A = this chain, B = another copy of it.
Amino acid sequence: MKLLEERILKDGVIKPGQIVKIDNFLNHQVDPALCKEIALEMVRLFQDKEINKVLTIEASGISMATLVALELGCPMVFAKKAMSNNISEDVFHTTVFSYTKAEDKNVIVSKEFLGPEDKVLIVDDFLAMGNALKGLIDLCNQAGAQVVGAAIAVEKAFQPGGKELRDKGYTIHSLARIASIEDDTISFVE
């Protein structure tokens, strides 16, 4: 998606360790007009699919996931980060390794809001190692829900998460696929 690639080049901030921060339009400050364009493109990419639930993880995915669900006319559920003492019988529970915080995070979804009747589109802002996405897929599997696919804003295509999950048969569409981050240059997959 040209619009998103251009915005990353314009406003993304490159940090050591091949990190690109998109804090000023997606991850902390949010440009809602860009989010809406991203959401419309995500819906277009999955337009031939039957989807009755959008799933994301707090917090950065919520803006886009809300707009995707609004467009699809279905509910959106956001998985919550939880303290281990907050994990009950009433929730599906998984762990997601966070590289930023170098620890496993507990992630939950209430059993009320995910079940075998659900055809789920997963929406998230970033895909790199794929840990968050694997966690969300795990929650869907526990619930017996069908994962229709995943719509991602920015994929670091030089990291293995996307390939690994596509090889397993998941449909993953990323709107901006970063091929490399070198010094101060970001290149996208053609």
Contacts and interface: CB of A to CB of B under 8 A. Distances in A.
A75 B31 CA distance: 5
Given A24-B112, A59-B59, A77 B32 contact: no
Contact of A24 (B33, B36, B113): B113
A94 interface: no
Contacts of A78: 28, 30, 59
A58 B63 CA distance: 11
Interface residues of A, number: 30
- Total copies of the chain: 2
A144 interface: no
Contacts of A73: 33
A150 interface: no
Interface in A22-37: 23-24, 28-33, 35-36
B76 A30 contact: yes
